[in-house]
Amino acid sequence: MLESTKPITAAKSGLVNCLVCHQLAPIASTHCKRCSTALSSRIKNSVQISLSLLVTAVLLYIPANIYPIMSTELLGDTTESTIIGGIILFLEHESYFIAAVIFIASVIVPMAKMLALAWLCYCANRADKIKQYELTKLYRVTEFIGKWSMVDIFVVAILVALIQLGELMSIKVGFAATAFAGVVVITMISAHQFDTRFLWDKVDEE
């Protein structure tokens, strides 16, 4: 879009947008008239909160990969498998499709998401010119793919429920499931805390 004049934002017009019901209010008001949500023109400390949650998620991603996500008991033998171990096992059994799904959902998506968030936080703090349109697109992708990493947890949940044949064959959850679910939830909150309007504010300042 071509912009001949400076774009008029709500903040510049002395208005504040309610993030829940999207009603505009005078900038001085503290709570939304319609839904009584606390108002603020931009999410306070958005980048800092987002970044600290991101660091937590990265740290939690380590045990999620080290500990077993589930253990299979087959005729008395117990095999524990980690996320990566599970993928390798599928590759060995030539189940390429499942291997690909699990690999995308549990490795690529969380990694891409954490990298994207880190990049967004870095760009929001940078002084020079940024590509806000591309970054906003990146943010949307990050927000969209967030929940898809839960696939692996759901697979484990179903297998654990289904395969309970006592001595013959049974599956138990492992600690990595908790850690990985934590990673998904924390990165989702982190993405939600990031306020893309900061990116656009920088353009307006120029």
Question: Which residues lie near Zn ion (CB under 5 A)?
Answer: 18, 20-21, 32, 34-35, 37
Distance CA 67, CA 156 (A): 14
Q: Which does 163 bind (CB under 5 to 8 A by kind): other proteins, Zn ion, none?
A: other proteins
Of 146, 51, 55, nearest to 105 by C-alpha is: 146
Q: How far is the CB of 128 from other proteins (least distance, A)?
A: 19
Nearest CB to Zn ion, comparing residues 35 and 62 = 35
Which residue, chain included where needed, has tokens 């309610």?
Answer: 18
13 binds, among other proteins, Zn ion, none (CB under 5 to 8 A by kind): other proteins
Nearer to Zn ion, 21 or 88 (CB): 21
How, if at all, do strands 70-74 and 77-81 pair?
antiparallel
Pick the closer one to Zn ion by CB: 61 or 139: 139
CB under 8 Å to 179, separation ≥6 — which residues?
60, 61, 63, 64, 67
Measured CA to CA, the distance from residue 174 to residue 46 in angstroms comes to 34
Residue closer to other proteins, measured from CB, 54 or 150? 150
- Selection from other proteins, Zn ion, none that 8 binds (CB < 5 to 8 A by kind) is other proteins
Q: Which residues contact 189 (CB under 8 A, 6 or more apart)?
A: 53
- Strands 169-173, 70-74: pairing kind: antiparallel
Rule CB under 8 A: which residues touch other proteins?
1, 3, 7-11, 13, 15, 17, 19-24, 34-37, 90, 93, 95, 97-98, 101-102, 132-133, 136, 139, 143, 146-148, 150-155, 157-165, 168-169, 172-173, 177-178, 181-182, 185, 188, 192, 196-197, 199-201
